[in-house]
Structure formats: structure tokens, C-alpha cells
């Protein structure tokens, strides 16, 4: 049937993306005020119809994406970037989808311009006459009084957006979407450059950027995780090509968006150490120099932004908010309710143990990469996936941290396949309005179970190996250069 062909998948996915965007105009994360008559509540009946249309579109998008991936794994040579353009275009003018976080970004940018301490208070400090007041009114309840957990590089971008738009909601959101598109372009450039392992760059783009989770939450939902991933992957690509200093500069900037990007410095250090011939001198160089370069970038960004070093103390604020996807928070809360009158201390201990376990896993993966038993790029991707799985706060789009990096290194691998299944499932967890209804978890669970059963029976090409592009030579890290 035509619908199962590459062309059919391209147009089916485009139709799904269009339905997601159209449904979002009625059921998206619409601003409380400042929508200019464009992004306004439409009444309960139209809102329900919009939500149903968005979910239908999401299902079409997921189905088209999965089938397209199977075709790529079986040897299809097709314009995956053209498909990405078709699927992205309908989302460009849509209101924020599946999250209200972009309103926090705009409000925090306004706080910088208004002289407020973004690391000492939340958007609620903005008064009615301040820049960004309309955006602040639309910030989700958890974040109204929460200090910014983001680095000064991102806050500078947000402040620039507010300065250009005067804090008006609609143009601010659309400018933030341009930043998200820039992040998408960075991801495509990086994963194509790294190559996706023996599966080839087309499959890497499929898992990293064409991924519905990326399209919905980065292009549609405008999460700054996309910018962090794009800068981090760009830095990894430069390091793979021997330009590790420039690579660490990009990773430093990524860290100044969101701190988990710092994990990449460890694996760039592994590349530097291996390229230097190993030994004590090589290991010392790999452990110290990437951190020094990124640290200098972080200090420079902080001074330039004028926000101070308060970001060092706000990295844990998100962990205070309980999310159902965090295994350690759920386990800690359950144990706390069973063992104590106040569950919070027990929950905190379990959360810290989870982070400790994640650090141990990251250390083991880095050691295996240094010994030549694991591609450093894949090791980084698995490390980020482990960090997310054991984090005290987990949102669906956090899965993209590791998924995009694994895609760049070995998209067709068993790890890539499992991450693809989780991506297809978690895209259902939040509603277009940004809420997390119970039925979102039910649908996600059904999709997850079906995907894992499919993988057990079928896999890519039936054997976990791509049937298209042949194996490549092992990654040549080359001799490190200064630039």
C-alpha cells in the first residue's frame, strides 16, 4: 500500500503534524492573557474537539515515524531532511503545545531586564506594569515562585527576545520558536556529522530530530532542552573531529542552558586522553582541560549576563517538584509513607541514592570508553539516559538528552530501538494543554508495551542491524588540535 511507502509516511506524518497544530489552536497551552485574539480559549466543546484532533494527529505522526524508521533500517535511501521539513512546517505558527514552560522563559528574560534576581525569586515578582507580566500570568503553578534553574546563556537569549518584542506574548513565543528551530538545525548538523554509526546519518536524523517527542516538545512546546542538546552534540562533533577546545566551548554554552550537558565533558575528556596515547599524562589532560575550557565559558557567560552565580544553587530546585515519571521519587515517597510519618526525608535519601547510582553508571561507561570497549559518543548517550532514569525529577522530553546522542552514535542499536519505543510512548504523557491526565499514562503504557513486544518479535530488519548502509570503520578520533 502507498501509505506504507516512504512517500506515504512523509505525507501521513505531515497530516498528523498539521492536526496537532490545528488542535493546539483550541486545546494547546494558551496564554491567560495577551493572546491577541489568536491564542484564546474557544469554549469547552471546541477545546474538546481540538484535543481529540491533536491526539489523532499525534497518533498519525507516531505511526508514520515508526514505519519510516523501519524503512530506513531496511535499506531505504530517502530525503529524511525533506521529511523533517514537511513535519516541522505545520508547527511553526502554533501556540505553545503540551507545556507552559515557554511563558516561564519569557518571564525570566523580563526579570533580567527589569533587574530582578532570577535566581532568588520566580516570575510572580513581575508587577502589572513590568515587561513580561502577561507571560508571568500564564506560568504554571509550580514555577510561579520558583527561581530559574537555567544557566545565564539561556537567560541572555530570553532577555534578548523580550527586549525585541517588548514582552508581548505572541511575538515572544514565535521568536522563541526560531531559537528552537536553530536548535533543531544544530541537532541535524551534528548527528549527520557524527554519522549514526554503521546505520548511517539518515537513521540518526530519524531518531534524534524527526522523533515526535522532539517535534512536539522542542518545536511545539519550545523546551530549551533542544538548545542544550544541539550545542552539546555540536561540541561532541567538533571533539570527534579533533577540535576539542572549540567542542568544549560549545558544551560549556550548553551547560549554561541546562547543567546536564556537563556530562559530555567527561566523554570529550576520554577522547582527548585516548588521542593523547593514554597513560597518566593523557588521562590527566582529558580529566582537567575540558573542564577548564568549559568553566571559563561558564564564568564568561555569567559575567556577561550580569545575573551572578546564583545558578550554582538553583540546580536542585526542580527536584522539589514530584513527577510521576521519576522512579526514585516514586519509590522514595512510597517507602516514606510506609516507614515514617513524614515521607520527605526518606524520599530525599532515595533520590540521592539514585543520583549516586547514576554517577556510578556514568563512571563505568566512561571507563569502558577509555579502554576502547565502547564508543564515547554512545557512552555519553547511555550516561544521559541513566541520569534521566535515576533523576529526582523526570519529564517526558528529558528522554531526548540521551536519545539524540545515542542516535548520533548508533541509532540502529538495541539501545536506540528501546529509546525509540520510549519516545513513541512518552509523547502521549502530557496533553496539548500541558496537563498530565491519567489517560495519558494509560495510552503511554499501551504504546510502550506494544512497542517492546514488536521489538522482541521483529526488531530493525529482523536482526537489530541495518540492511542499508554497510559497516563503517571504527571512529577515528585523530590527534587533538587546539581549535
Taking the chain (483 residues) in runs of 10, the rounded mean pLDDT of each run is: 83 97 94 88 89 97 94 84 96 95 95 93 89 91 87 95 95 97 97 79 94 97 97 97 95 96 96 83 86 94 88 78 89 90 89 96 96 95 97 95 95 92 96 93 95 82 46 41 42
Residue 282 is predicted with a pLDDT of 81
Instruction: Report if residue 136 sits inside a domain.
Output: no
Instruction: Report if residue 25 sits inside a domain.
Output: yes
**Residue-number span of the structural domain to which 339 is assigned:** 2-99+173-462
Residue 228 is predicted with a pLDDT of 98
| Residue 461 backbone dihedrals phi, psi, to 5 degrees | 60, 5
Residue 461: CB atoms within 10 A of its CB come to 16
Instruction: Report if residue 32 sits inside a domain.
Output: yes
Instruction: Report if residue 190 sits inside a domain.
Output: yes
Instruction: Report if residue 222 sits inside a domain.
Output: yes
**Longest Cα–Cα distance in the chain:** 68
- Cβ–Cβ < 8 Å for 190, 233: yes
Instruction: Report if residue 274 sits inside a domain.
Output: yes
SS3 467: coil
Residue 466 is predicted with a pLDDT of 52
Which of these, 429, 417, 426, lies nearest to 453 by C-alpha position? 417
SS3 93: coil
- Cβ–Cβ < 8 Å for 71, 37: no
Rounded to whole angstroms, the Cα distance separating 423 from 426 reads 5
Instruction: Report if residue 282 sits inside a domain.
Output: yes
Instruction: Report if residue 26 sits inside a domain.
Output: yes
Residue 438 is predicted with a pLDDT of 92
Residue 480 is predicted with a pLDDT of 42
Rounded to whole angstroms, the Cα distance separating 376 from 365 reads 8
SS3 119: coil
Is the pTM above the cut of 0.85? yes
What is the number of structural domains in the chain?
1
Amino acid at each position: 500500500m502507498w501509505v506504507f511507502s516512504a512517500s506515504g509516511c512523509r505525507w501521513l506524518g505531515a497530516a498528523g503534524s498539521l492536526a496537532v497544530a490545528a488542535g493546539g489552536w483550541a486545546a494547546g497551552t494558551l496564554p491567560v492573557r495577551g493572546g491577541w485574539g489568536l491564542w484564546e480559549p474557544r469554549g469547552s466543546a471546541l477545546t474538546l474537539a481540538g484535543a481529540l484532533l491533536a491526539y489523532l494527529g499525534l497518533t498519525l505522526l507516531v505511526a508514520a515515524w515508526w514505519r519510516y524508521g523501519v524503512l530506513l533500517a531496511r535499506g531505504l535511501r530517502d530525503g529524511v531532511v525533506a521529511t523533517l521539513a514537511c513535519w516541522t512546517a505545520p508547527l511553526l505558527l502554533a501556540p505553545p503545545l503540551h507545556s507552559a514552560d515557554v511563558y516561564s522563559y519569557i518571564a525570566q528574560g523580563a526579570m533580567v531586564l527589569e533587574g530582578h534576581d532570577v535566581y532568588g525569586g520566580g516570575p510572580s515578582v513581575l508587577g502589572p506594569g513590568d515587561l513580561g507580566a502577561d507571560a508571568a500570568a500564564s506560568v504554571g503553578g509550580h514555577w510561579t515562585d520558583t527561581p530559574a534553574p537555567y544557566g545565564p546563556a539561556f537567560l541572555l537569549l530570553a532577555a534578548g527576545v523580550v527586549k525585541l518584542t517588548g514582552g508581548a506574548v505572541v511575538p515572544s513565543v514565535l521568536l522563541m520558536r526560531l531559537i528552537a528551530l536553530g536548535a533543531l538545525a544544530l541537532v541535524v548538523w551534528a548527528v549527520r556529522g557524527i554519522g549514526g554509526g554503521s546505520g548511517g546519518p539518515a537513521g540518526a536524523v530519524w531518531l534524534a530530530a524527526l522523533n515526535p517527542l522532539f517535534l512536539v516538545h522542542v518545536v511545539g512546546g519550545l523546551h530549551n532542552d533542544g538548545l542544550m542538546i544541539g550545542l552539546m552534540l555540536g561540541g561532541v562533533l567538533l571533539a570527534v573531529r579533533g577540535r576539542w577546545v572549540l567542542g568544549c566551548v560549545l558544551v560549556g554554552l550548553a551547560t549554561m542552558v541546562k547543567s546536564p550537558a556537563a556530562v559530555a565533558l567527561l566523554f570529550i575528556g576520554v577522547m582527548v586522553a585516548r588521542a593523547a596515547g593514554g597513560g597518566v599524562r593523557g588521562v590527566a589532560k582529558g580529566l582537567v582541560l575540558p573542564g577548564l575550557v568549559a568553566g571559563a565559558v561558564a564564568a564568561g557567560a555569567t559575567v556577561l549576563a550580569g545575573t551572578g552565580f546564583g545558578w550554582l544553587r538553583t540546580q536542585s530546585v526542580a527536584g522539589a517538584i514530584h513527577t510521576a515519571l521519576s522512579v526514585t521519587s516514586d519509590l522514595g515517597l512510597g517507602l516514606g509513607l510506609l516507614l515514617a510519618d513524614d515521607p520527605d526525608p526518606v524520599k530525599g535519601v532515595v533520590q540521592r541514592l539514585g543520583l549516586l547510582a547514576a554517577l556510578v553508571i556514568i563512571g563505568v561507561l566512561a571507563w569502558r570508553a577509555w579502554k576502547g570497549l565502547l564508543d564515547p559518543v554512545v557512552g555519553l548517550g547511555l550516561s544521559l539516559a541513566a541520569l534521566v532514569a535515576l533523576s529526582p525529577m523526570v519529564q517526558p522530553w528529558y528522554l531526548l538528552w540521551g536519545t539524540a546522542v545515542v542516535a548520533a552514535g548508533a541509532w540502529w542499536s538495541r539501545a536506540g530501538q528501546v529509546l525509540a519505543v520510549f519516545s513513541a510512548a512518552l509523547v502521549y504523557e502530557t496533553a496539548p494543554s500541558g496537563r498530565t491526565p491519567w489517560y495519558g499514562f494509560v495510552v503511554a503504557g499501551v504504546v510502550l508495551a506494544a512497542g517492546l513486544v514488536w521489538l522482541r518479535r521483529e526488531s530493525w530488519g529482523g536482526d537489530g542491524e541495518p540492511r542499508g548502509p554497510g559497516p563503517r570503520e571504527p571512529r577515528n578520533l585523530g590527534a587533538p588540535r587546539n581549535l
